[in-house]
């Protein structure tokens, strides 16, 4: 099934089930008011939500209405845990290469993750506010999973069963603030503003054979101002799959239901597929010509991130946002 | 007023007002079910909660009962944002000195903060679970504030008005995992497990002249197995006050109501006052004698963190927890 959170004036929005083709929706009233509430007791609520999804597909859901992505908040407008991996290690290798540094061998076996803020998760068509263009505004196209409760010390195989939902992510990054933040050693804080999510979150069964239990084998399409930036395959060159990422983040702590675990910027060795972030484009330019040519984003630019199934239908709906100056 | 969240089988618990002397409590039923709900609409709910607190003090609150800290969860058992500063820069200077490194001058003017996980915040008397003693289990005694909504670009003076509550914190740290995590450059993730909080959160007016609007001028008392580890003053040698920390963390993002901002381990230049973490004790030993002598915590150890007012009364109740092996 596909789930969306619709704007209703509250901070957590109102949970709705959305049809497979993203055309129709029905509120999950009487089942769970919010997606967090559904995840808090998933075993109880998921069957009722699935039954509603079936009625919606067959046209028998009472009170169904047209689904408008512009009415969608992030599936979890605020969460309790947002941890983002950097699972496409070829991307990290490239970053290092561009600045003439070698990458520690351990990066191929020990995942990189950072903790993000989860109090302000942006909806798919909401304007994305930034204080200054000088910060080097960049997109990062990613896939993320939402887990149920995961105990300390979960192993990668067992972790797969804790994946309840998948979403697309734009992990906005402020490239010019990253070097200073990382130099301080405490993480990305100021360089990672509010993150954006797709209109719907989907259960793994919606993905068919494209989902192997830990990787999503489909291209992510990233566009800037309607121009294709890249369409690398999320299932290719993913050094750490979601099972491994969840195992990594539960080494010393448990995850509460509704935790969001991201893949990091999708990146393939096959550079003909393009990129999901401008930093990668600029690094390739630097390696090829000595200096980067493509600028970071400007106020007014639009960023679109989407994933299509084998038949060309949008799975998650599109993140389609305008970069704006923060008020 | 003083607020606690009592265990009721739900993930977010049940909000109660607690008397000034921590002896009595009354549920905030009919006002707000949870502390997050109260913070989501603080201007509406705070007056009603204050009125209930007044009735509780005068003995006229219906349904009042004895307050048991063992029934308390963390005031926010899960939050949407937990960011911890390292505001006592003398502590950072000492860490560096102990490993023979100098500290960048910028650390005196540009705060260090890290993003913590906020899906699993431990209650004051709950056992604190860790997978292994080999990780170097340590306490970090701190003060934290809870904010309401704060816009991007809030300045330090304006930030003070966004501080709604204060709490004590034990920011558990796994010292032997920190060097490896920081070397990777993405932050502390695995080295910062679930954090613990005091039985009650208090509004700034409860602190009288000890609260100057941005710093809390009282000693934090840290004990291990009933033996005093230290009682440094939280208002002394705090390089960045809470107004400055909030301004720092809102440089590129807003904070949602209920965001928790921590001070970092309290540490005074006056070493006769002791320490609030074992790492500092060990560094002082290393500087004095060449090698650290005090071990990190073992399973079964108890850690107590408390703050008393000028008359010797506990303000927040005590964090008093046992270190245990994670199941």
pLDDT tens, A42-81?
A: 999 999 999 999 999 999 999 999 999 999 999 999 999 9
Residue B99 has pLDDT above 80, yes or no: no
pLDDT at B185: 85
Q: Which of B114, B153, B326 sits opposite A186 (nearest CB)?
A: B114
- Residue B222 confidence (pLDDT): 98
pLDDT confidence bin for B265, thresholds 50/70/90: very high
Helix H segments across chain B? 35-40, 42-58, 89-98, 156-159, 178-184, 242-249, 278-289
Check residue A144 and give its pLDDT. Answer: 98
Beta pairing class for B141-147 and B137-138: unpaired
Q: Range with the lowest mean pLDDT among A177-181, A314-318, B50-54, B99-103?
A: B99-103
| Phi-psi group of A117: left, alpha or beta (phi > 0 → left; psi -120 to 50 → alpha; rest → beta) | beta
As a three-state string, the secondary structure of B62-97 is: CCCEECCHHHECCCCCCCCCEEEECCCHHHHHHHHH
State how far the alpha carbon of A104 is from the alpha carbons of A56, A101, A248, B185, in Å.
Answer: 51, 10, 18, 12
What is this model's ipTM? 0.97
Question: Does residue A100 carry a pLDDT above 90?
Answer: no
User: Are the CB atoms for B318 and B304 separated by under 8 Å?
Assistant: yes
* Per-residue CA distances from A168 to A195, A320, A326 (Å): 11, 11, 23
Model confidence band, residue A89 (pLDDT cutoffs 50, 70, 90) = very high
Q: If residue B146 lies in a helix (H) or strand (E), which one and from where to where?
A: strand B141-147
Mean of per-residue pLDDT scores for chain A: 97
- pLDDT tens, residue by residue, A154-198: 999 999 999 999 999 999 999 999 988 988 889 999 999 999 999
B84: left (phi over 0), alpha (psi -120 to 50) or beta: beta
B182 touches chain A (CB under 8 A): yes
**Which class for A30: exposed (0-12), middle (13-18), buried (19 or more C-beta within 10 A)?**
exposed
Q: What share of chain A is helix, strand, coil (3-state, %, to 5)?
A: 30, 25, 45
B251 touches chain A (CB under 8 A): yes
Average pLDDT over residues A284-311: 96
pLDDT of residue B95: 82
Residues of B in contact with A252 (CB under 8 A): 130-131, 135, 174, 177, 190-191, 193
- Nearby residues of B273 by Cβ (< 8 Å), 6 or more positions away: B219, B230, B231, B232, B233
Res. B7: pLDDT tops 90: yes
Asked whether residue B325 carries a pLDDT value surpassing 90, the answer given is: yes
- Work out the average pLDDT over B114-129: 98
Q: Does A288 touch chain B (CB under 8 A)?
A: no
Tell me what the mean pLDDT of segment B12-27 comes to: 98
Residue the block writes with tokens 């596909």: A2
Min Cα–Cα distance to chain B from A22, Å? 29
Q: How far is A56 from chain B (nearest CA, A)?
A: 31
Q: Does A91 touch chain B if contact means CB atoms closer than 8 Å?
A: no
Among partner residues A11, A118, A152, which is closest to B326 by beta-carbon distance? Answer: A152
Closest by CA position to A121, among listed B72, B68, B254, B278: B254
CA of B117 vs chain A CAs: smallest distance (Å): 6
Question: Contact, B82 vs B116, CB < 8 A?
Answer: yes
Q: Tell me the pTM.
A: 0.98
- Distance (Å, rounded) from C-alpha A245 to C-alpha B178? 19
Shortest distance between the Cα of A213 and any Cα of chain B, in A, equals 24
Strand-pair partners of B72: B6
CB contact under 8 A, A78 and B256: yes
Q: Which pLDDT does position A97 carry in this prediction?
A: 84
Residue B223 host element (H or E): strand B221-224
From the list B276, B23, B74, the residue with the least C-alpha distance to B195 is B74
């Amino acid at each position: 099934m596909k789930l969306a959170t619709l704007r209703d004036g509250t901070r957590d929005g109102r949970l709705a089930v959305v049809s497979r083709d993203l055309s129709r929706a029905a509120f999950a009233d009487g089942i769970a008011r919010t997606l967090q509430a559904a995840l808090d007791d998933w075993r109880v609520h998921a069957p009722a939500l699935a039954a509603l999804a079936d009625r919606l597909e067959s046209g028998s859901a009472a009170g169904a209405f047209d689904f408008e992505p512009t009415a969608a908040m992030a599936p979890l407008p605020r969460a309790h845990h947002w941890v983002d991996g950097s699972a496409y290690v070829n991307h990290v290798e490239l970053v290092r290469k561009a600045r003439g540094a070698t990458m520690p061998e351990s990066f191929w076996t020990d995942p990189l993750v950072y903790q993000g803020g989860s109090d302000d998760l942006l909806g798919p068509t909401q304007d994305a506010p930034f204080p200054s263009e000088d910060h080097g505004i960049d997109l990062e196209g990613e896939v993320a999973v939402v887990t149920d409760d995961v105990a300390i010390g979960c192993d990668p195989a067992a972790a797969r069963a804790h994946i309840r939902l998948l979403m697309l992510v734009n992990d906005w990054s402020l490239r010019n603030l990253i070097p200073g933040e990382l130099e301080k050693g405490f993480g990305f804080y100021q360089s990672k503003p509010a993150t954006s999510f797709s209109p719907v979150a989907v259960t793994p069964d919606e993905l068919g054979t494209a989902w192997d239990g830990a990787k999503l084998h489909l291209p992510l399409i990233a566009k800037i101002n309607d121009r294709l930036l890249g369409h690398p395959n999320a299932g290719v060159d993913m050094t750490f799959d979601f099972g491994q990422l969840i195992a990594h983040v539960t080494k010393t702590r448990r995850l509460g239901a509704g935790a969001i675990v991201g893949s990091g910027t999708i990146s393939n060795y096959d550079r003909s597929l393009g990129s999901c972030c401008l930093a990668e484009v600029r690094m390739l330019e630097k390696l090829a010509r000595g200096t980067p040519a493509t600028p970071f984003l400007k106020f007014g630019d639009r960023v679109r991130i989407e994933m299509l199934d084998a038949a060309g239908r949008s799975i998650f709906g599109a993140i389609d946002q305008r970069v704006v100056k923060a008020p």
